[in-house]
Amino acid sequence: MNTLMRIGCLVGAVLLGVRAPIVSTAEVRGRAEPVLLFGIGMHIEPLGRTAQGYGGGGADYRQGPLFERHVQDILAVTGIVEAHGGRMTIQAQSPFTQVAIERGNTILKDLESRGHEIGLHFHEDAHLGRDSGRLPPEIWCAVMQEEIGFIYQAGVRNHIRYWSGGNLYPGVLDAAACAGLDVNSDWKNPRTQSTDPSLLGVNPWRPLGGPSETDLSKFAAHDSNGKIVFLPEGMYDPEKFARKREIIAQGGDRAWFDVLREALERSLASARADRVNVFHFTVHPGEFRGDPAEPFKVIEDFLTSVVDPLVTAGKVRWATFSQMADEFIAWEKAYPGVDPRLAASSAQLPRPTEPDVTYCVMDGVELKLDIYRPRESTAPTPALLYVHGGGWTSGDKARGEGVRDIPELVARSYVVAAVNYRLAPRYKFPAMIQDVKCAVRFLRANAERYNINPDKIGVWGGSAGGHLAALLGTADETAGWEVGQYLEHSSRVQAVVDMFGPTDLTVLFEGANPRLMEQVFGTSDRSSEALKRASPVNWVSSDDPPFLILHGERDSLVPVSQSQIFYEKLQAADVPAMLVIVKNAGHGFVPMGGPIDPSREELTRMIADFFDHYLKRPVGSDRYGVSQGAHRDATLMPRSFELAGQAGIGWVRFGIWYGIVSPRPGVFRYEESGFDAQVRKARQEGLQILGKLAFATSWNTSAPPNLPPEADPTHFPPRDYRAWADYVFQTVSRYKEDIQYWEVWNEPDLLSFWAGTPAQYAELLAVTYEAVKRANPQAKVVLGGLALGGRRVNPNFLIEILSDARYPAARYFDIMNFHHYGSREEARQRMEYVRNALRQVGASDKPIWITETGYSSDPSQQDDPNYRGLEGQAQWLRDMIPYLLTDLGADKVFWYRLYDYPADFNADVGARYHGLIDNQGNPKPSYFAYKELIASAVSPIGFTLTYSEENQQLFDDIAQPDDRLLFFRAHVLTGKGWPPRLTRGKVLTTWPSWTEARQYEDRWAPYADVFGYDIEADSPPDETRDASKTIQELRAYLDDVSRRYGHPIKLSIGLNYNFGTRHAIALARSDEVHLHANELLRAYLREDPHGLNYVEWLVARAAEVRAVNPDVDIVIAVLVPEMETVRAVEVAQALLSAMAAGRLRFEGFTLWADADAAKNHPELVAGGTFAIM
């Protein structure tokens, strides 16, 4: 009783202060990236007899120089921490505090004045005796207060809030609260020196109840009304934590700081933007002193090499333990009622559309996933499965490194399913892979429910989740892991992102240590069949989906070699794969030694771009389209869309008619009018959509009364432009995810379609443009297709709208658009007129589309005697469309129309039989002509050897050897993409101008494997000096393009004949060198039929190149399309002879030849390292 009264007086006599939180509530809620609060504590042990009369007999602060030596140690360590911008939490107790008081030592007061926190370290046995667990909380409280009183007597002024100790006493929380304490950490079992896994983590909480040796369930649970804030130490390895002394004894102090570094990496990987995240560790006076000449250097080095870069990068912030608690208290105010130990909140993730969906039941366990759906889209979207990490033993579907990618992926219209799976040690592998396979089957089985495209499912995950994602992409049904429900569906995925996942478990590394292998896989035998089968590297085959592999270069948990080995296996199997080694990144992309590169935001975009590339890639050619026309037949329309998709057509153009969707003011009926179904069907067939916004309505038209019967009131300008803008906004918003291009009206230069003035159309265009951009800033506005001919055309319409004083039209459209019916010469004149008009107003950079061109199959409507009947229509298409695209340079061309009008349909009689499909749904010859034209144009083989069904065997023969460098040349201005069945080889795109390449980047970058660039042969000598700089800039550019488009693009430099040795040296530093000499070859072939001088030139240049870079790939290019094939073959044979004689080594040969020549000279495709272009 006397003790209690004495302590009460001491506390009452002290001026108490409360520190403010280091951040505000608003800052906590507005945080975009996770931050880890980092601190170092110091335990001052009870060396000697305590104030309560316990202890003594060993080291004693009252005896000898121990007290002064430890004071110097404390000052040294705190000084190091201060030099790095931090402050410590010093935890004191008697007899240290008593000796300080007796000797007048002010160390605790001085440290507090320098910003360090002073707390209580409470060894219960030293202050309450060995039976402390039997004492009531009131006694604990009294003795704690007594110990706090000594701290105050030693000069400390601030309120003592933090304590450590009492880890096995169930009443410790009540006792501490009674003593005025509210912050606790450093829990470990003092008898076993171990930490229970349930207390690991980075997010503070308020324990529901006190701990005991046998039951930590209440201590590990959060109580929002709890009085104590508990600070977990971070994501330590419990086994290593318990073996601290052994680790130091075997490897020295640095071995322990390696453990701390690993734990810090794990903790950063677990940090969440919507939580307070903490990591801390504790030292003792004299511990880690090391060399007296450089005391505590291991601490100095750890802070310099590990902590400082993280602080600079904004990933880590210093904090004392009470400051950590204050930030948690601020977080509680920002997120009232949220359990910090459970799933991430909406500050980081969008709320799941459907949380905790049971996807499968395994061993009686209901397995859960969260569904995140994008804004409503009428077309089925690809789905992505997120698999969390956690060493196969922990983790949650709302946690892990990949969680931060979910918002971006949902924003890009993916359905995301974040999945939980059974964990070890309770469930051994293959339970985990069985579960995620079942999750994929669940998505396919419920594709209609979630509006998923079942043929487009990707997966991504990190660490153990990356391992499972890689297995999902590689292991087939022979593994025997298809168990559970929905077995009628496939578990195959179409794209995989593996983030720092283990791939070869037969290799020993930290993240696959023996103890973990026993827990998860039931064996630590590296040669066991179990670990071989669990390793993705052993399942790789040529039919695996594309992979994006991301790994930190400084990952000590899962070494980067795991991803490098896996990448090499995928490459050897010809699986599309890209490996990105993240600079300065540890496990979980934790910064180690500097900011990571690419940044985490760039990695998210890279992941999203990768999935876009492989799951959203258009099926058809991007430059070929078809216009549907006004008629919408319930049977013909879906049938025609299917045929269009099968033909490889990339685009369909149709109207979302104002008068149909809005029968009266303020009413919009998209579903009832059938447009939702129409859009959905087009997207299902892989067709991109050009939506047409037209015309006026019966209730919103400026048409005068008493119109003649032949006049259409909907072809007058709308009376109310605000109502029109509302229609535009509603329509573009509804189809935001499906339609990115919008055309404004149809043929407004014809009086029969626009019964208004050019000025009125310019105003309508401006109003429409603003409404479109407001609804979807990424959407593009296409000028209404101009007729530029016809009986009622306004010949000055384009000039007048471009020069309109109030609404100059070029400001209000992104893409120029006109229609063409007639001859090639008429087409040339129209294109010239359009280009001149755009040039006059400074708009010559706008793309030009031709959204209608066509020719009837009805002889009575065919006005050219060279094109008669059904075959005449087909031939007209073959002749006209390539001319418009290639000769005139149109960016896209749309055939008008998709199917013939039914016989009883009155409108547009002149175009009744323009269709590719007849009005019974049967393809006409023109349909097959268009299909063949597209197939040849999208072939990446080049200009003279194009894809066709009859050449399929030729391609197959070329593509067989695995050791051959094969290029299939692609030129984006004449089409792009793969032939239907070509599975090998690489796409090479070549550009004479870097500026032009940048302009058309979106056309070639998604498909190109190699970027070819030639230094011009006629470049002035003073320009050639920059060859090295050019290559450096090109490489940087291609690295950026590769990241943004999610697949690697190599650089290939063309070395021309008049470039000497110094240029060869510069160019040899590229990935590949193309050696070619067109002009020289032509001259030599006139004088030297066998081209031997040409070969000698190649020999000399190749020697120069290899002297600089022995590993460079040299591709010999014979670009002679105008010469007789036999002459080119002779050159090729001379090259073969030089190679056979050992005088010339090259890895690739490109020859422009036609298919017949290649077939007649099989030695060129079967006997050497050749690719035919």
* Lowest-pLDDT choice from 104-108, 478-482, 570-574: 570-574
Percent of the chain at pLDDT above 70?
Answer: 76
Q: Averaged over 401-422, what is the pLDDT? A: 91
DSSP state, 375? S
Q: pLDDT tens digits, residue range 486-520?
A: 998 989 998 999 999 999 999 999 888 898 999 99
Task: Between 857 and 685, name the one with better pLDDT.
Answer: 857
User: What's phi and psi for 1025, nearest 5 deg?
Assistant: -60, -20
Q: pLDDT tens digits, residue range 221-232?
A: 888 889 999 999
Residue 548: C-alpha distances to residues 496, 606, 719, 1001 (Å)? 6, 9, 54, 21
Which pLDDT band, with edges at 50, 70 and 90, does 857 fall under?
A: very high
Q: Where are the alpha helices (DSSP H) in 389-507?
A: 406-411, 431-445, 447-450, 464-474
Question: What pLDDT is stored for residue 1100 in this prediction?
Answer: 67
Three-state DSSP state, 967: strand
For 1030-1083, the DSSP string reads HHHHHHHHHHHHHHHHTS--EEEEEE-TT--HHHHHHHTTSSEEEE--HHHHHH
Q: Averaged over 544-563, what is the pLDDT? A: 91
Q: Is the dihedral of CA 988, 992, 994, 999 positive or negative?
A: negative
Q: Averaged over 841-863, what is the pLDDT? A: 94
Task: Between 959 and 581, name the one with better pLDDT.
Answer: 581
* Strands, E assignment, 44-157: 89-92, 117-121
Q: pLDDT tens digits, residue range 299-317?
A: 999 999 999 999 998 899 9
pLDDT surpasses 60 at 22? no
Question: What pLDDT is stored for residue 182 in this prediction?
Answer: 96
Which pLDDT band, with edges at 50, 70 and 90, does 25 fall under?
A: very low
CA distance 44 to 122: 10
Q: Averaged over 396-420, what is the pLDDT? A: 89
Question: What pLDDT is stored for residue 172 in this prediction?
Answer: 94
* Lowest-pLDDT choice from 238-247, 814-823, 986-995, 1000-1009: 986-995
Cβ-proximal residues to 288 (8 Å cutoff; 6+ apart), any chain:
253, 256, 296, 298, 299
For 599-630, the DSSP string reads -HHHHHHHHHHHHHHHHS--SSEEEEEEE--S
- How far is residue 655 CA from its own chain's centroid? 34
Question: What pLDDT is stored for residue 908 in this prediction?
Answer: 57
Q: Averaged over 24-43, what is the pLDDT? A: 72
Q: 842: burial class by Cβ within 10 Å (0-12, 13-18, 19+)?
A: exposed
Task: Between 439 and 968, name the one with better pLDDT.
Answer: 439
Which pLDDT band, with edges at 50, 70 and 90, does 984 fall under?
A: very low
pLDDT surpasses 90 at 953? no
Q: Is the dihedral of CA 1103, 1107, 1108, 1109 positive or negative?
A: positive
Q: Averaged over 139-160, what is the pLDDT? A: 96
Question: What pLDDT is stored for residue 1087 in this prediction?
Answer: 44
* Lowest-pLDDT choice from 22-26, 960-964, 978-982: 960-964
Residue pair 817/784 in contact by the 8 Å Cβ criterion: yes
Question: What pLDDT is stored for residue 978 in this prediction?
Answer: 35
Which pLDDT band, with edges at 50, 70 and 90, does 742 fall under?
A: very high
Which pLDDT band, with edges at 50, 70 and 90, does 1092 fall under?
A: very low
Which residue type, as a one-letter code, is found at position 368?
K
Question: What pLDDT is stored for residue 195 in this prediction?
Answer: 73
CA distance 971 to 1146: 24
Three-state DSSP state, 55: coil
- How far is residue 587 CA from its own chain's centroid? 18
Question: What pLDDT is stored for residue 648 in this prediction?
Answer: 78
Question: What pLDDT is stored for residue 702 in this prediction?
Answer: 97
Question: What pLDDT is stored for residue 535 in this prediction?
Answer: 97
Residue in 121, 120, 90, 94 with CA at minimum distance from that of residue 107: 90
User: What's phi and psi for 725, nearest 5 deg?
Assistant: -60, -35
Mind listing the domains of the chain with CATH numbers? 2-14+36-334 (3.20.20.370), 354-615 (3.40.50.1820), 621-937 (3.20.20.80), 949-1172 (3.20.20)
- How far is residue 634 CA from its own chain's centroid? 40
pLDDT surpasses 90 at 280? yes
Task: Between 1170 and 252, name the one with better pLDDT.
Answer: 252
Question: What pLDDT is stored for residue 1090 in this prediction?
Answer: 41
Token pair recorded at residue 66? 């121990």
Q: 315: burial class by Cβ within 10 Å (0-12, 13-18, 19+)?
A: buried
Percent of the chain at pLDDT above 90?
Answer: 51
Cβ-proximal residues to 260 (8 Å cutoff; 6+ apart), any chain:
281, 302
CA distance 956 to 185: 66
The set of catalytic residues is: 463, 555, 587
CA distance 523 to 655: 64
DSSP state, 785? P
Beta-sheet pairing, 183-185 with 816-820:
unpaired
Task: Between 783 and 389, name the one with better pLDDT.
Answer: 783
pLDDT surpasses 80 at 965? no
Task: Between 1039 and 262, name the one with better pLDDT.
Answer: 262
For tokens 């390292």, name the residue: 1169
CA distance 701 to 711: 13
For tokens 């003792």, name the residue: 284
Residue 155: C-alpha distances to residues 17, 250, 321, 602, 1071 (Å)? 14, 41, 20, 51, 69
pLDDT surpasses 80 at 196? no
Q: pLDDT tens digits, residue range 881-918?
A: 989 987 788 999 999 999 998 877 765 566 889 999 99
Q: For all residues of the chain together, what is the average pLDDT? A: 81
* Lowest-pLDDT choice from 141-155, 843-857, 983-997: 983-997
Which pLDDT band, with edges at 50, 70 and 90, does 36 fall under?
A: very high
Question: What pLDDT is stored for residue 1170 in this prediction?
Answer: 29
Question: What pLDDT is stored for residue 394 in this prediction?
Answer: 83
Question: What pLDDT is stored for residue 585 in this prediction?
Answer: 84
Q: pLDDT tens digits, residue range 1009-1056?
A: 667 665 543 333 333 445 556 666 777 788 888 878 777 777 766 554
Question: What pLDDT is stored for residue 1132 in this prediction?
Answer: 55
Task: Between 1089 and 566, name the one with better pLDDT.
Answer: 566
CA distance 115 to 496: 49
Q: pLDDT tens digits, residue range 607-639?
A: 998 888 778 754 446 789 999 877 778 888 888
Question: What pLDDT is stored for residue 28 in this prediction?
Answer: 45
Q: pLDDT tens digits, residue range 1146-1171?
A: 544 444 444 444 444 443 333 222 23
